[in-house]
Structure 1
Amino acid sequence: MSNWIKVKLGDIVELKRESYHPKPDEVLPYIGLEHIGQGTLRLISVGKSNEVTSTKSYFSKGDILFGKLRPYFRKVVRPKFNGVCSTDILVLTSKNPRKFNQTFLFYLMASQEMIDLATASSSGTKMPRADWKVLQNLEISIPEDVNEQERIGKILETIDDKIDINIRMNKTLEEMAMTLYKHWFVDFGPFQDEEFVESELGMIPKGWKVIQVKDLGEVITGKTPSTKVKEYYGDKIPFIKIPDMHGNVYIVKTETMLSELGAQSQKNKMLPPNTVCVSCIATPGLVVLTSEMSQTNQQINSVVCKEGVSPYFVYLFFKSISDNIVTLGSGGTATLNLNKGDFSRIKLLMPTNEVMTGFNNKVESIFNLIKINSLNNIELENLRDYLLPRLLSGEIDVSKAEKQVEEVL
């Protein structure tokens, strides 16, 4: 095993301080804290520099972006492009890449130990911020041999690469399902030879009808159990909130879990697997499916589909009108809010039972594969987060970890 040395963080990591002033006619990739997943070590989305006004910071491809506002959220990413970011994000890079491997340093900064140290050194009560002046003086242990650092970084990066492959595959699968949905229910491709009739939504195949969302099944608006009762929270029932929805088709992991007691305190809010959840307040238009018995908070309306209604059809319908949901939720107020009544009255086209069943059978295998990939990613994240502190402390031999990851992947 390589010799390990004690160093100060500021001796191996450099804080970059290049300011950027947004210009209306210049568009650069922009990363704010809202674009970084909590604890996932990856981006949810990317914004545009001309959509913000205050001073930002430049970053380069491969830099480490460390969210300093409420660092316990573990918002750490390493973008594969140049751009600008919020000043609530520290832009970090290796002081000497020949001695201190950048990938190793990324996982060092993303380790729970570093997150805990950053949190403990934060200033401010309601909105604590990590202070680089404190962080740079932290004493840590690292392998002296840069090749050993590189091997450790490569092990963890290989796991993240596999997660990215699954994410890209899921995006492609969802696009395939949406293409099929639009071919059937927007362009009426398979039904061109049938008789069409007038409806309030235009010409539709005979036998189809216009319905409202409430006709699809039961509409349930979520609720948050009292946070004053600690016993309501635990590790039994996923409790879905808007941050859990970003970039997901299926919810397979949530920031917050309820106990059985908490779930039973509002059992009328329980959602079975394959319930369609739609965000309707603050960030309206996000759509996901539940993968197990779950509950949501009050910002989300959900549709528990009745027998004969495909949840995949309903999911794709809401995805196809996500921009309209934002418009419906505007209502002239600062906070976007689509209430249950208006949500329930959204109109859509309902095909015949035969067509609904046929479509469900076409896309079911696609959604099942998306769910499998999503569950696999949770296992991979758990493996990465298990190995990370043990590799950074020297507890696990690097060769053994390489073999373990090779067997899993």
Structure 2
Amino acid sequence: MSFETATLESLCELVVDCPHSTPKWTDEGIIVLRNQNIKSGVLDLSSPSFTNEDDYLKRIKRAVPKAGDIVFTREAPMGEVCMVPEGLKCCLGQRQVLLRPKSDVNGRYLFWALQSPYVQQQISWNEGTGSTVSNVRIPVLKALNIPRIDNEDMIAKSLSDIASKMMLNVKTNQTLEEMAQAIFKSWFVDFDPVKAKMNGEQPEGLDAATASLFPEKLVESELGLIPEGWEPKQLKDVLELAYGKALKKADRVAGDVPVYGSGGLTGYHNQSLIEGPGIIVGRKGTVGSVYWEPKAFYPIDTVFYVKPKTGYSLKYCHLVLQNLGLKDMNTDAAVPGLNRNNAYRLDVITPSEPVLKKFEGVMQSFQSKVDANNAQNASLESLRDTLLPKLLSGELLLTNSSEVTNV
């Protein structure tokens, strides 16, 4: 079915290229949007990058990103988009363009249109040379033909409602992870249930059966006071830090497999090295950063991936690593690095088997909810990807916000 189009430039108030320079990276400060944070229309700032105020001011001279702006990636990867959310102070990284829709253009519709197969094909194909391209030049970007059809507001709302539900599931999973970290710290770092019992109190948040699994007192050990019957061990007794495998960017093939390097998620590949879920620990560059990846992934040689020892679950190992202060263990002068043998000598107080089994049962309950949310998101993603091209081509028409009609 035919439809009208308009150039991207004609729909935007601003089309602003990023500064062609690398910002000064800092441990905290103002967020720099990086291409690795943008995937399938989602801005993921779980592993943010920062710069200082001076570099931020340099990078916003052409335009200050504001809520509703669209960030477009010109290469590595090419053609990904996200919207700047409310309340985020940020600047562009490299290989990005800031798009600001005109006031009479529905920005969310434009956001979805840029992800449609019709526009993505224009992005990936250079008609002048008849070949695929690896980056998008600004004149080509401005000349992209964007579908203009009826019910753009309704289409934008319908697709955005699906995205909102997916985001709610993601945030729920993040809350479950925070709860898991809080329980781990309370049980295995602060020993709150044991201290409560020593004071003749019922441990907060525990039923009587669970509380009975914890010792009645703390006893002296080479690590100080620990719950009676628990053991001081070293990290090497709990898990193995295995080396990743080299994979040059030039050798990567487009796919959906996350690739982890020194800075966390560095891109995607079409083959995995490790079945998910898994844990990645920064070895070079970003020392001691700990990442959880639910899907199959590829750890390159600047990171470790984790193999739990017998008797310890992957989730328990994940939480142990988050509480060991690995980021403070840089041992290399020139390039920051984590020495595996030094990490192996770190102390870990391991609980009794009944407490560990109870903890893993609680974690499995959390994980079941996470898995259910991830499964629903996979279904929603499939629905979104099915509706998107058909709605934007006019093959399907929305009769109201929840119904579609074949044309």
The residue number in structure 2 matching 1:279 is: 282
Q: How far, CA to CA, are the matches of 2:35 and 2:323 in structure 1?
A: 23
CA contact (8 A) 2:112 2:156 kept: yes
Determine whether 1:255 maps to 2:268: yes
Q: Does 2:97 match 1:90?
A: yes
1:64 aligns with 2:70: yes
Report whether the alignment pairs 1:80 with 2:80.
no
Aligned to 1:5: 4
Q: Which has the higher helix share?
A: 1
Percentage of identical aligned residues: 25
Q: Deviations over 1:4-32 (max 9, x none)?
A: 32322211122255999x9xxxx985332
Distance 1:28 1:234 in 2: 33
Structure 1's 28 and 310: CA in aligned 2 closer, same or farther, altered over 3 A? closer
2:360 equivalent in structure 1: 360
Equivalent residue for 1:157, pick from 154, 160, 171 = 160
Other structure's SS at 1:198 match = strand
Deviation sequence 1:296-319 (CA, Å, 0-9, x none): 332332332233213222111222
Q: CA deviation at 1:355?
A: 1.7
Q: 1:75 to 1:369 in 2, by over 3 A?
A: same
CA 134–303 in structure 1, closer or farther in 2 if over 3 Å, else same? closer
Query: Equivalents in 1 of 2:152, 2:372: separation in Å?
Result: 33
Tell me, in whole angstroms, the C-alpha distance in 1 between the residues paired with 2:144 and 2:284. Answer: 41
**Residues 70 and 315 (structure 1 numbering): CA distance in 2 closer, same or farther, change over 3 Å?**
closer
Match for residue 205 of structure 1 among 219, 224, 227: 227
Partner of 1:172: 175
Work out the CA distance in 1 between the residues paired with 2:246 and 2:17: 42
- Which stretch of the first structure deviates more once superposed, 357-366 or 67-76? 67-76
Distance in 2 (alpha carbons) for counterparts of 1:376 and 1:346: 39
Query: Could you say what secondary structure the match of 2:86 adopts?
Result: coil
Using the alignment, how far apart are the partners of 1:396 and 1:116 within structure 2? 20
Cα offsets for 1:207-247 (capped at 9, x unmatched): 222222221144422224799999xx798x9565249966x
For the residue of structure 2 that corresponds to 1:168, the secondary structure is helix
Q: How much does 1:340 deviate?
A: 3.3
1:346 partnered with 2:346:
yes
Kept in 1: contact 2:6–2:148 (CA 8 A): yes
Residue 115 and residue 206 in structure 1: after superposition, are their counterparts in 2 closer, same or farther (change >3 A)? Answer: same
Cα contact 2:8–2:143 (8 A) shared by 1 = yes
Q: Distance in 2 between matches of 1:225 and 1:70?
A: 15
2:187 is matched by which residue type in structure 1?
W
Bigger mean CA offset, 341-350 vs 273-282: 273-282
Contact preservation (8 Å) 2:236, 2:345: yes
What is the CA-CA distance between 1:164 and the residue it aligns to?
A: 1.1
Distance in 2 (alpha carbons) for counterparts of 1:280 and 1:226: 17
Residue in structure 2 matched with residue 50 of structure 1 by the alignment: 52
Aligned to 2:375: 375
* Whole-Å separation in 1 of the counterparts to 2:143 and 2:301: 43
Q: 5+ residue gaps in structure 1?
A: 247-253, 264-269
- Bigger Cα displacement from structure 2, 204-213 vs 34-43: 34-43
Which residue in the other structure is 1:249 paired with? none
**Judging changes above 3 Å, is the alpha-carbon distance between structure 1 residues 224 and 374 closer, same or farther for their aligned structure 2 residues?**
farther
* Residues paired across the two proteins, number: 368
User: One-letter code of the match for 1:101?
Assistant: N
- Equivalent residues of 1:173, 1:366 under 8 A apart: yes
Equivalent residues of 2:32, 2:91 under 8 A apart = yes
**Between structures 1 and 2, the one with greater strand share:** 2
Give, as a single letter, the amino acid of the residue that structure 2 aligns with 1:136: K
Instruction: Please state how far the C-alpha of 1:173 moved relative to its aligned partner.
Output: 0.8
TM-score normalised over the length of structure 2: 0.76
TM-score (norm 1): 0.75
Which residue of structure 2 lines up, in the alignment, with residue 109 of structure 1? 114
Does the 8 A contact of 1:239 with 1:258 survive in 2? no
Deviation at 1:365, TM superposition (A): 0.3
Structure 2 residue runs without a partner (length 5+): 128-132, 199-215
Q: SS of the counterpart of 2:159?
A: helix
Tell me if 1:296 matches 2:315: no
Matches of 2:278 and 2:89 in 1, distance apart? 38
Whole-angstrom distance in 1 between the partners of 2:247 and 2:321 = 27
Alignment of 1:7-46 (within 5 A): 7-15=6-14, 30-33=31-34, 36-45=37-46
